[in-house]
Amino acid sequence: MDLPQPEPYDLIGVGIGPFNLSLAALADRADGVDALFLDARPEFRWHPGMLVDGARMQVPFLADLVSLVDPTNPWSFLNYLRHQERLLPFYFAERFQLPRREYEHYCRWAADRLPNCRFGRPVAALHWDAEEELFRVVTGGPAAEEHRARNVVLGVGTEPVHPEAFAPLRAHPAVWHSAEYLHRRDTLAGARDITVVGSGQSGAEVFLDLLRLRAGDGTRLRWLTRTRALAPMEYSKLGLEQFTPDYTRYFHGLPADTRDALVPAQWQLHKAASAETLAEIHDHLYERTVGRPLDADPVEILPGTAVTEAAAGPCGGLELHCRHVDSGRRHLVRTDAVVLATGYRAVRPALLDPVADLVDWDEHGRYRVDLDHRVALRPGVTGGLYVQNAELHTHGVGTPDLGLGAHRAAVILNAVAGKPLHPLPLRTAWTTFAPPASVPPVLPRPQEGHVRAAAAPR
């Protein structure tokens, strides 16, 4: 006799990074929403290869899993500090931005205790059951199982970007992405010439760490980026209002081609290094050259330089063919090792293959995503498929920002529940991004003589 199937979940989250962990934390206290979150890894980890000593978050501590939506939630960072008996030390530290290592430890604290999070559960496939109008989420591995859900939220994260110029060196042991930095830093011990490519926060942190570790040993350190200037991240108070739900709504309403042009133009909002890290690099270089010429140390910083081709050198080492962006002049860089701090991008996970023909992809093969972060599906598919951090092209530069994580999770949870479990503010910015809905016509100003004539009595 077949046992009755358990009730389907209202929501299954695939992947447990900070964004789905935020959703899990908010769902934990949501009445009437039965949720489950699955991740292939044995435990929560967040960019473990970049937990460099001294690295700090680029968002304030209030950008935790829940506080900007529900500051009374027990999964807040302040409650974590209470459990760690660190409230007073944190108070005396007077730090608005956390050490990156502490943020990761906070997330692990929550992930280990949330009853709706399960690790060691790799999701192999997602199927749509048209008869039952449910998704079937199939996990692989030794504990293979199937779960049913009315809604699925993809929070599978992003993957490191390896530029096309470095494709011939994809498997070279001396070329790897900054995501692996701490795991592979020791392999640089024998290198006498090291090149860091990329001017974002990861590139700045790797370069600074190498400056500290290799000071005085004669190693040539090179920081190379095609960006024309090592400009800092935009961090003015009004500038940061582009990381509000108000701006997200405005951006979502723009034509697709306008959105696609805007994102790369806004690189200083989401791809630059912090002013503090850039200042530390300058301070380090300044202090180590006291009493010596500026070029006494073998250090090169080369902005506005694009790598057009990379290959193994005929006599060992690596050869980078470079082009100066402004002048067009080309030159060759010979180096022993390259760390690619070239960012991350969202990719379509293989688990979607069984339902790929049900997704209404845009002309570039990307998700069409509504304001509730729900992916457009073919007519007749009544289940909801949502994405987190895969909608940069529809929701703008705030997509990967942790400061909007709790708000997005609340938007998704409210949509799944069909009611406002978490009331959200209608206005969050002083700035008005869109023009007025209607502009009164500008009437021609009457000439002075006409005014006098009109004013004269009859």
Query: What count of Cα atoms within 13 Å lies in the side-chain half-sphere of residue 259?
Result: 19
What is the pTM for the complete model shown?
Answer: 0.92
Closest CA to 137 of 33, 23, 3, 15: 15
pLDDT score recorded for residue 452: 39
Exposure class string for 107-125: b at 16+ Cβ within 10 A, else e: bbbbbeebebbebebbbeb
pLDDT at site 455: 39
Return the pLDDT at 3: 59
CB proximity list for 185: less than 8 A, separation 6 or greater: 209, 213
Q: Which of 266, 262, 274, 261 lies closest to 200 in space, CA to CA?
A: 274
Give me the average pLDDT of each 10-residue run along the chain (458 residues).
Answer: 78 98 97 96 96 93 97 98 97 94 98 97 97 96 90 96 96 97 96 96 96 93 94 91 96 97 92 94 93 89 97 94 97 98 95 97 96 96 97 96 97 97 95 82 59 38
Q: Say if strands 158-160 and 344-346 run parallel, antiparallel, or are unpaired.
A: antiparallel
pLDDT computed for residue 378 by the predictor: 95
